Amino acid sequence: MDVDFKALTLEEAAAHKADALVFAITDPSDGQTSPPTHGSSSPLAQWVQQVIDSGDLEAGAGKWLMSHSGGQCQARRVVLVRVGDGSPAAVRKGLLGALGALRQPGVKKVVVCTHLAQLQVGAWQAAVVAVADATYAYTTTLSKPKPRSLSSLVFVSDGPVGADAQAEVRVGQAVVEGVELAKEWANRPSNHATPTKLAQAAEKLARCDNVKVEVLGPKEVVKLGMGAFMAVAQGAQEPLRFIVIHYRGADKDQAPVVLVGKGVTFDTGGISIKPAAEMDEMKFDMGGAASVLGTMRTVAVLQPRLNVVAIIPACENMPDGRAVKPGDVVTSMSGQTIEILNTDAEGRLILCDALTYAERFKPACIVDVATLTGACVIALGHVRSGLFTESEELAQGLLQAGERALDLCWRMPLDDEYAEGLKTNFADMANVAGRAGGAVSAAKFLQKFTQSQQWAHLDIAGTAWKSGTSKGATGRPVGLLVAFLLAQQGQTAKRKSKSTRKGD
């Protein structure tokens, strides 16, 4: 989807060739009944003003009205949409509704007119991401696919668009690439998204500047002593893959941010097998891996000045005769032993070895991302991802990144008492505690493998996909992770500047 800016009057916007013209309209401020149409005498401007004045378009972000233009402009369809106060969240809500209404085969070029909108910082990026989200279409395994029809998005205003807005759009386009790569791989059925195929998708990133990809197989994983990861994978015929993506955009001696994504490409639950109902949704259990892969795609496009390492342990969790059994004890890469009481608590087993492996990079911080627990869905629903960390700096960085990206998370507790249920007589720890506080005890398990690190865990079980008629991957938390990484780039630059001044 191409995105462009044009400085046009309302009359010129009406004459611009497009399949649909969308007017973004902010709500009236105090003492104002409606936004002026700049005194324009064009038929379209007068019609817009009449609709607003008549009250047919209610105030409130997301309210919209669609009509055929009746020859008042080149576009056959006109949509008036309220974007609230012009904030990123309000713009996203408005354009999601408006573009959803225009999701038709004949709508290939859309012009978004911003003459009647006062957009706040971040709104342009939110607009690009919202339009892409509203028009996304999965096609890979359909015999008669219906791909996204929208190919061109043009923002028009009554004056030149500044460099900041253009930069927002550039970041928005890059985020869309990452989000849609994450959606693609999380949406694919597991026979089309095996660990091997996921590794091949990662290897394609090596074509980008400053990106290197390593893929380890079972022999290398055994040699590394990843007993927990191997235990999960041993019941599957599909071989595991341990994927490491390196992005170097800064000096070699700059500590990298390490992202770790859970990559269970299908989860039956193993011997502790899941109920049949909705088990098909377990193809989404590699949502963490997909989001990390998507984030690295965005990083490769933006080429920020920082170093990032992404680690994806990828495997299936299957219940054949070789599968790990409840009560088995395995030795993790860290040397700690684990009694596996429930084979359906497999995500933490593959992550713990990946977290230990991450230590070799001497990271600035580690953030793992996983569809880890149903308990987190119960706690937070589908609105916010669960955030677990003892680092105040990491907590604030991720929370603020989520706010900027409209990809929200919520900080959860990590009290030591939550780890009591992980005690066992037969190993250093069990892989599950009781049902109560399940999301927290899962995080406490992972924490045992990150004691010497600045570490945060994002449980995205409730936010990585949607169920029901709109079933599919969301691409979250690519936006959050990208916003976090870009902020790290800024902080690194500030630290370098301070260091240089001290040296002077």
Whether 348 sits among the annotated catalytic residues: the reply is: yes
Read off the tokens for 269. Answer: 């639950």
274, 305, 411, 496: which one is catalytic?
A: 274
Residue (of 246, 242, 245, 244) closest to 232 by Cα position: 242
Q: Please, which residues have CB within 8 angstroms of residue 220's CB and are 6 or more apart in sequence?
A: 242
> How are beta strands 241-248 and 455-459 bridged, if at all?
unpaired
**3-state SS class at 266:** strand
With 0-12 / 13-18 / 19 or more C-beta atoms within 10 angstroms meaning exposed / middle / buried, residue 27 is buried
Return phi, psi of residue 503, to 5°. Answer: -65, -35
Which residue is it, tokens 């994504």?
A: 261
Segment holding 143, helix H or strand E = none
Whether 297 sits among the annotated catalytic residues: the reply is: no
Alpha helices in 160-254 (DSSP H): 163-187, 195-204, 218-224, 227-233
> How are beta strands 20-25 and 77-82 bridged, if at all?
parallel
Task: Report how far residue 330's alpha carbon sits from residue 347's, in angstroms, rounded to the nearest whole number.
Answer: 15
**3-state SS class at 334:** coil
Helices 163-187/123-135 angle, 10° precision: 30
348, 404, 448, 476: which one is catalytic?
A: 348
Residue (of 197, 371, 404) closest to 292 by Cα position: 371
Catalytic residue numbers read: 274, 348
